[in-house]
Each structure stands twice: as C-alpha cells, then as structure tokens.
Amino acid sequence: MTRKYFGTDGIRGKVGEYPITPEFVMKLGWAVGKVLGKNPGDRLVIGKDTRISGYMFESALEAGIAAAGMNVQVLGPMPTPGIAYLTRTFRAAAGIVISASHNSYLDNGIKFFSAEGTKLDDDIEKAIEDYLDKPMTTVSAEKIGKAKRVSTAAGRYIEYCKASIPSSFSFEGFKIVIDCANGAAYSIGPKVFREIGADVQAVFNQPDGLNINAACGATNVDALVKLVTSNKADLGIALDGDADRLIMVDHKGEVVDGDELLYIIAKGAQRRGRLQGGVVGTLMSNLGLEKALAADGIDFIRAKVGDRYVMEQLKKNNWNFGGESSGHIICLDKNTTGDGIIAALQVLAEMVSQNKTLAELKSGMTKYPQVMINVAVSKRQDPMQNEQVVSAVKQAELELADSGRVLLRASGTEPLIRVMIEGDNHSQVERLAKKLASVVKHNL
C-alpha cells in the first residue's frame, strides 16, 4: 500500500522540517483520535525518549487528540517496548511513541502501537492519512479530551521486565556496565538490573535533550568496550535511544551483536523445549547464524531488512524468535515488539542457567567475514535490472560457491546501493566486494 506520510516504522524526519513540525504533529494527533476514538472514554497512551523536541511534540499530540475528543495518558520518558506493554495493560486504543530511535537529537518521529501492542494495520494507517488531508475540527467543549500523567509507568514496566526470567535465578556477583545511550532507558535500565541483584555501573545515563545516542549506545560501543575491560566487568549492555536495540560486550571486550544474541536466546529456548518453530533473521543476518542454527536442527528464514518484516514472518510462521544483526531482538513469548532490556535478561538467564560466560555462550556460532560497501547512485533503482551488474553478481557467486553469498540492496532512504558479500575467506570477500562495487558505480 502506498503511503503519503507513513514509512515502515511510523513518520520520521528532521525536527522543524515537514512533516516533523508542531502543526503537522498536532493534526496527526487529531487524525489518530478521529480514527480510533470510537467510544466516550477511549484513550491513547503517549511515551517518548529524551530528545529535547519530545516536549514540543508531546504537547502537540495532546492538543490534537483532545480536539478529537479522546483522552490521553502521558507516560513520560519510556522505552518503546515499555510503551507497547503499557498500551496493552492500560487497555488503551493505541500507543504513541515520540522517538527517532538510534538517530541524533536533530531528528524525531512518531510511531504507533495497536491496542495489542503491535504495529498498526495498514488500513488504519491509511484511514489516518485520509484524515490528515481533511480540515481539522474540534469537538464541542464538553467532549474535549483530558490528559493525565501516569506516575506508576516506570515501576510497572520494571516489574514486567523482571518477570521475564525465573525469580529463582541469582545474579549476585554479576558485574555489569550498562550504556543507556542518554535515552529512554536512562533510569529504568539500571534499576532493572540492580533489582535482580547485579552490581551495575550505569554510563551515558545523564540525558540533557541533546546528547541522545551521541558517541554512545548500541550504535557506538567503543566507550563501553573500554569500560568493561578496565573495570573487569562480566559483561556490558548497550541500548539505543529508545531501548529497542541491544548490543552486548563480553568480559574479553569483544562485541556480541544481534546475530550472536539471537543465537544464544534461540539455542537456550531449544534447550528448554520452548523454541516453537524456527528463527527469523534478515537479508543482512550473518551466514554464520544460519549455519550454526542449522547445525542444531533449527529452521531459519530471512525477511527483508527491518523489524516490521521480521515480525511479519514470525506471525506468518507462528514462531517466537527473530531479529537483526543491528540488535533488534524480538522474543514474542515475552513482549509484542523488540525489547533491548528483556533480550538482555534472557541472555543473562542463560549465563546463570548454564554457568557460562557470555563469551562461552556465543562460541557455538562462528561469524563469517562480511564486507559491505555503499555506492552512491544518481537515483533510487533496482541494481538487478542492469545486465552488467547481474553478470558481475553471477561471477562472484560462482567464485564463492557454497562458502558465501552476495547481496545487492537499494537503500530505502538514500540514493545508495548496498553491496554486501560474505564468505569464509576475508581477503576473497573484500576483493569481490570492491570489484562488484566498482561495476555498480560505473553502470548505475
């Protein structure tokens, strides 16, 4: 379905540039209220991350929703998966997240959860877009909606996270460094891990509205690696700005990415007899994940890049576990969306259950060398429509045989072609990637 405003994960862009403006966001709140406000007393919940523009857009949404006659429950700074959970537990008509995830404070976005804590259906997004093209009106004064702050939101979500692992497990003596990305989990994240008994050092947990994701968090773990090794910690946990991504660091200072974390969680579920089918990765998931799961008899399929598409495949196959190498880990037996804190807890539970270090748990999967080169092109296009490019791809695949794979993908947001090759020989992979990127550059 062609959308005018909605992307794969809500509406996102530069603050102050259409449509990420107060005027548009207020009308968006009104449109959502008109579509979802079916009965008197219906309400929406709103949560946000810590970027400075969140205050402005929170107020704008409140005004628009009230004008449509719906009530609002305001959660304040809250991880995106926490908003999904509270949407369900408060029996709200929908949840609204004000966040641009791993982007800098210069960006912001609005995304939505249904009453069930899942992405909105396409037909609802289409209905909202239809209202955005209509004149905004206000209900009569006695029907205007009200806004109420929820003081118990953080505590409710903390207890929900802790309940995702057995209460009998002891984490006394675990030394953890947690990088909160100066984002939505700056307070909640450290509390969760302290309350299960771990010795926690929290860093990048002083948001000022401008430092979210700045040289920290799941997209930049350099500082976390140094802190884990210098403090002789058992592990490090890196969340992103809205805490739906997770990257970890083992006691050796080695980064453990989303593919490896997904392997650990799925293998643990299989060991306990709770796997329910297979695992969903993406086109970018490392070949090592696929081969490690296959060795354990676990089915694996690839979705398009994006947690929305991972979720689609999970639902289609009635499976529970999926994710991306970037750190989006979905455990549908625990929450309805990707959840960095809950995913980290599952990994910690495996460490306790098996009495193994994080390094030992990930050792069952060997990552294949992977090289990706971004090639700028004049316009967005399908690279596989060019004969020279198709021929070069076939030549690379022939040389790799069964020891690797080739992927060409047009960026969904920029005029770029992403050239990715992986295999068991790094020098071969690097050489083939450069050669294919050159063909793309000179023919597109």
Least confident of 355-364, 367-376, 377-386: 377-386
Looking at the chain, the whole-number percentage of residues with pLDDT higher than 70 is: 99
**Residue 431 is part of a domain; what is its CATH number?**
3.30.310.50
Q: Does residue 73 sit in helix, strand or coil?
A: strand
Q: How confident is the model at residue 348 (pLDDT cuts 50, 70, 90)?
A: very high
- As given in the structure block, the two tokens for residue 120 are 């909105």
Q: Is residue 242 included in any domain, yes or no?
A: yes
Q: What is the mean pLDDT of residues 318-328?
A: 97
pLDDT exceeds cutoff 80 at 440: yes
- Could you say which of 119, 153, 187 is where a domain stops? 153
C-alpha 116: how far from chain center: 18
Assess whether the previous peptide bond of 135 is cis (omega < 30° from 0): no
- Map residue 124 onto helix, strand or coil: helix
Domain shared by 37 and 106, yes or no: yes
Mean pLDDT of 364-380: 92
Does residue 231 lie in a domain region? yes
Q: What is the rounded CA–CA span in Å between residue 202 and residue 261?
A: 21
Q: What is the mean pLDDT of residues 178-193?
A: 98
CA dist list (Å): 170 to 36, 159, 162, 204, 243: 44, 16, 12, 26, 24
User: Per residue in 252-267, pLDDT tens?
Assistant: 999 999 999 999 999 9
**Mean of pLDDT values over 267-276:** 96
Alpha-carbon torsion (14, 328, 228, 256), positive or negative: negative
Identify the helix (H) or strand (E) that includes residue 235. Answer: strand 235-239
Q: What distance in Å separates the CA atoms of residue 202 and residue 189, rounded to the nearest whole number?
A: 9
- State the pLDDT at residue 38: 86
Query: Which CATH number does the domain housing residue 198 bear?
Result: 3.40.120.10
pLDDT in the model for residue 9: 84
Residue 165 lies in a domain: no
Number of domains in the chain: 4
Q: What angle do CA 370, 372, 377 make, to 5 degrees?
A: 165
**Residue 293: inside a domain, yes or no?**
yes
82 and 190 belong to one structural domain: no
Which tokens is 199 given? 């010795």
pLDDT digits (tens, 9 = 90+) for 61-106: 999 999 999 999 999 999 999 999 999 999 999 999 999 999 999 9
Report pLDDT digits (tens) over 293-314.
999 999 999 999 889 899 999 9
What is the amino acid identity at position 442?
A: H
Shared domain check, 323 and 240: no
| Residues 190 and 270 placed together within one structural domain of the fold | no
Average of per-residue pLDDT across 240-262: 98
Which of 207, 236, 256 is a domain's end point? 256
| CA dist list (Å): 297 to 58, 203, 268, 286, 389 | 47, 39, 13, 17, 35
| Residue 33 counted as domain residue | yes
- Is there a domain that residue 56 lies in? yes
* Residue found under tokens 């946990």: 237
Tokens 């990706």 label which residue? 372
The two tokens of residue 334 are 């625990």
How far is it, in rounded angstroms, from Cα 349 to Cα 73? 33
- Which amino acid is residue 420, in one-letter code? M
Please check whether residue 383 lies inside any domain of the structure: yes
pLDDT at 39 (0 to 100): 85
The string of DSSP letters for 377-444 reads: -SS---GGGSHHHHHHHHHHHHHHGGGEEEEEEE-SSSSEEEEEEEES-HHHHHHHHHHHHHHHHHH-
Averaged pLDDT of the chain: 96
Q: So what's the pLDDT on residue 414? A: 76
Assess whether 362 and 405 both reside in one domain.
no
pLDDT computed for residue 410 by the predictor: 86
The terminus-to-terminus CA distance of the chain in angstroms comes to 27
Q: How confident is the model at residue 415 (pLDDT cuts 50, 70, 90)?
A: confident
Other beta carbons less than 10 A from residue 203's beta carbon:
18
Instruction: Put residue 112 in one of left, alpha, beta given phi > 0 → left and psi -120 to 50 → alpha.
Output: beta
Catalytic residues: 101
pLDDT, residue 376, reads 93
Beta-strand relationship, 147-149 and 71-77: parallel
Cβ atoms 80, 117 nearer than 8 A: no
Q: Which domain holds residue 211?
A: 172-256
Q: Are residues 250 and 133 in the same domain?
A: no
Which residue, of 233, 256, 279, is where some domain finishes? Answer: 256
Give the length of the chain.
444
Six-digit token string for 85:
């959970």
**In-domain check, residue 125:** yes
Q: What is the pLDDT of residue 1?
A: 55
246: left (phi over 0), alpha (psi -120 to 50) or beta: beta
Residue 40: pLDDT band by 50, 70, 90 thresholds? confident
Quick one: 239 and 138 in the same domain? no
Same domain? For 390 and 436 the reply is yes
Instruction: Say if residue 245 is in the same domain as residue 273.
Output: no
pLDDT at 2: 66
Whether residues 17 and 148 share a domain: the answer is: yes
Q: Which helix (H) or strand (E) holds 343?
A: helix 340-354
Q: Given this model, what pLDDT does residue 179 score?
A: 98
The answer to whether residues 245 and 262 belong to one domain is no
For 162, what's the count of Cα atoms within 13 Å in the CB-facing half-sphere?
22
Check whether residue 73 and residue 128 sit in a common domain.
Answer: yes
The answer to whether residue 238 scores a pLDDT higher than 80 is yes
